[in-house]
Amino acid sequence: MQIYGLKTCDTCRKALKALPQAEFVDVRADGVPQGIMNKAQSTFGDALLNTRSTTWRGLDDATRAQPQADLLAAHPALMKRPLIVDGDAIYLGWTPDTRAALGVTD
């Protein structure tokens, strides 16, 4: 299992604490493998892009108009997090549904 996120993200820290067996991948330092990013984009579509982030608010309109794949490649902090890959399953966010699917109890 891999958790893709930012080491400074509180939500990612919560996920990692609840899933200590998972491998953490910092998207700023290491990025997300193209195959996983493609699967995430096809699974979550526009929900993968965090338009409430500080990074998003700092972008101009021309940059925001770029294709999602290009935006996420250039600005990995724009990805909603954490992105959790468990075998063939992929989850976005540390929501109650994600926790239930992964067998995490509060």
Q: Annotated catalytic, 12?
A: no
Q: What DSSP line would sit under 33-44, residue for residue?
A: -HHHHHHHHHHH
Cα separation of 29 and 103, whole Å?
A: 29
Among candidate residues 9, 73, 77, 90, the one labeled active-site is 9
Q: Which residues are catalytic?
A: 9
